[in-house]
Amino acid sequence: MTTELTIAKAPEGLEGPGFFATKLDEVIGLARSNSIWPLPFATSCCGIEFMATMGSNYDLARFGSERMSFSPRQADLLIVAGTIAKKMGPVLRQVYLQMAEPRWVLSVGACASTGGIFDTYSVLQGIDKVIPVDVYVPGCPPRPEQILDGFMRIQELVRNEPVRRRNTSEYKALMQQYGIE
Ligand code: SF4
At 121 the pLDDT is: 97
Q: What is the value of pTM for the model shown? A: 0.93
Ligand 1 contact, 45 CB (< 6 A): yes
Locate the ligand 1 atom nearest the alpha carbon of residue 110 and give its number. 1
Domain positions in the chain are 37-177
What is the rounded CA–CA span in Å between residue 160 and residue 158? Answer: 6
**For residue 66, pLDDT beyond 90:** no
The residue whose CA is least distant from atom 8 of ligand 1 is 45
Q: How far is CA 5 from CA 2, 30, 60, 62, 159, in A?
A: 10, 17, 15, 10, 20
Ligand 1 contact, 85 CB (< 6 A): no
11 pLDDT band, cuts 50/70/90, is confident
Q: Tell me how far the alpha carbon of residue 54 lies from the centroid of ligand 1, in angstroms.
A: 18
What is the rounded CA–CA span in Å between residue 165 and residue 155? Answer: 16
At 1 the pLDDT is: 58
Ligand 1 contact, 147 CB (< 6 A): no
Ligand 1 contact, 116 CB (< 6 A): yes
pLDDT per residue over 18-50, tens digit each? 999 999 999 999 999 999 999 999 999 999 999
| CATH number at 37-177 | 3.40.50.12280
